[in-house]
Amino acid sequence: MKLSGIIAKTFFASAMLLTSTSIFAQVKIGTNPTAIEAASNLEVEASTAGRKVKVDKTTGQLTIKDGTEGSNKVLFSDAVGGSSWKKLKLMEIFSFTQVSGIQLVVPVGNSLCQDGSINPPACAKDLNLNGSFNIHESTSDVVLETLSIYTSIGNVAGSKNQFTLMLYVDKTTPGVFESVGYTLETSSTVGCNAKSVGLKAVLKDLPVRATPYQVKTFVGPWSNDGQFAAVVGLGKAAVEAAPSVSPCGTSPAEGNNKLTITVIQ
């Protein structure tokens, strides 16, 4: 009798262990502890509906839903260990190259073309150095930078010629370009001259929109107090080689003129 009693107790204990494996494989703590997602091994639910911590029973993935979760977010801790999801800002850098070089004639005179503080003036010339970017977050920073190498054929001693490098973005209405920056470049060298010119603009919190933002660069003549028209070459020689004519600037090619766009959002 004692042996059979021991065997019976052993079978009973084994049955309880086997049964508990299937019954208690899932653990739920919360306002409704009898209901748990089928794929979860563990759930801890807050009194606020939909906010919970759970562990997937197949992959082991941990999910934390506290109302701050979202795409591209990381979990941060405060000073006392409290956690919340924070947006992780991503940075993208785009580089664009001038498609084809241009020559800009700067005739004798002053205030020849608007300075770039207005929308692209008719007297300005497209530099063929354009780009684009997208905004999909409500907070963002956009940095626009251009770098151009140019050659110019100067005037008589003591004179100078000036041109304006202008930067535009269709920041309000697609296809309608607005000024975001400009710089005035001066050359007072007699004869052939080579220099570089750069321009930088920063835009903050542009509206989210489906169509990409477009960027364009222009150049315009500003002044020339010499005795004859000056010529500036950007991505192209200021003076082309010809019989009995020496070239001015054969090396500055389109590849030297670049537009870099950095987007952080």
pLDDT in tens, 119-175: 888 899 999 999 999 999 999 999 999 999 898 887 777 788 999 999 999 999 999
> Is the model more confident about 116 or about 135?
135
Domain check: are 43 and 119 in the same one?
Answer: no
Write phi, then psi, for 19 (nearest 5 degrees): -65, -40
For residue 190, what are the contacts with CB-CB under 8 A and spacing of at least 6? 154, 155, 156, 157
Domain check: are 61 and 109 in the same one?
Answer: no
Cα distances from 193 to residues 87, 155, 222, 252, in angstroms, run 49, 11, 18, 12
Domain check: are 219 and 259 in the same one?
Answer: yes
Out of 87, 121, 141, pick the residue that ends a domain: 87
Contact at 8 Å (CB) between 178 and 119? yes
Domain check: are 192 and 81 in the same one?
Answer: no
Out of 87, 113, 138, pick the residue that ends a domain: 87
Contact at 8 Å (CB) between 135 and 265? yes
In terms of residue numbers, what domain contains 52? 24-87
Domain check: are 32 and 131 in the same one?
Answer: no
* 19 part of a folded domain: no
Question: Rounded to whole angstroms, how far apart are CA atoms 69 and 85?
Answer: 5
* 215 part of a folded domain: yes
Domain check: are 111 and 68 in the same one?
Answer: no
pLDDT tens digits, one per residue of 33-44: 667 777 777 788
pLDDT tens digits, one per residue of 223-233: 999 888 899 99
> Half-sphere exposure of residue 49, counting CA atoms within 13 Å on the CB side?
0
Beta strands 176-187 and 230-234 are: unpaired
Number of domains in the chain: 2
Portion of the chain with pLDDT greater than 90, in percent? 51
Out of 34, 52, 87, pick the residue that ends a domain: 87
